[in-house]
Amino acid sequence: MFHPLALDLRDRYRVIGIDLRGHGDSEVVTDPTCLGNDSMADDVLMVIDHLDIGSFDLLGVSLGGGIAVVVAAEAPGLVRSLLLCEAIAFGPEFTAVQDSDGSAGARSMAEKALYRKRVWANREAVKNSYGSRPPLNVLAPEVLEAYIRWGFDDLCDGRVQLSCQPETEALIFGRSRPNGPEYSFRRLADVRCRTSVLYGSSTNLPVRWFLDQAERLEGTPLLVDGGHFFLFEDLKRANTLIRHLLD
């Protein structure tokens, strides 16, 4: 989903995208003990070290936001600024997530992830389905195309398969993995860099999450028109927001 935005930003920034463990071209992971935000943050820092990058700005959306918090907390001398877009990080008082259809929480989201269609006839079939229903039907066309291009692997018979396995996604939404959203929320206290907290006007997640994040960081949250993936609904706006908040 980041690909079109990365292309727009590379006149000013060197943009580095990382396939988190269990995602994209990274190894398949279905062991919940290996999917903690702390483990994935360590992966990010190892990539940064491998690329010999001295300092960087960090942008995290959704799960990536929760992981970005831990990266910033673990490496205060490396992260210049942090941009959190609907980061999944919340306090222990939140025992359930309100799903988009009004059903109860993390368990429902995990169950839905587990039963996602894994193999499709081709990318056109994926586009026709995903592009006609929430939450991806509001994405900018270029972003939907990028998601379908990079989020699916080609099979030898011409079909395509989800790069992130449903079992992995279900574990991430569930409660069995260690050091998840509550861990990231606690680590906000260790973030020392300039941080912006953004959330969508029509988000299906509890707004209290983002207000609490900003309060813990002693900042003011920024409301942006759109849903959970507001950053990818309007690329021109996203480009302007990122440049303004990181510069």
What's the CATH number where 34 sits?
A: 3.40.50.1820
Residue 102 has pLDDT above 50, yes or no: no
* CB within 8 Å of 147: residues ≥ 6 apart: 1, 130, 136, 139
Section 45-53 average pLDDT:
97
d(CA 45, CA 157): 37
- pTM, 2 dp: 0.93
Domain span at 180: 3-246
Residue 100 has pLDDT above 60, yes or no: no
Residue 73 has pLDDT above 50, yes or no: yes
Mean pLDDT of the chain: 93
The reported pLDDT for the residue numbered 95 is 59
Cα→Cα distances 78→72, 192, 193, Å: 8, 11, 9
Residue 181 has pLDDT above 70, yes or no: yes
The reported pLDDT for the residue numbered 196 is 98
Report the domain count for the chain: 1
Higher pLDDT, 224 or 135: 224
Strand partners of residue 153: 161
The reported pLDDT for the residue numbered 198 is 98
The reported pLDDT for the residue numbered 112 is 86
Structure tokens at 175: 């409660």
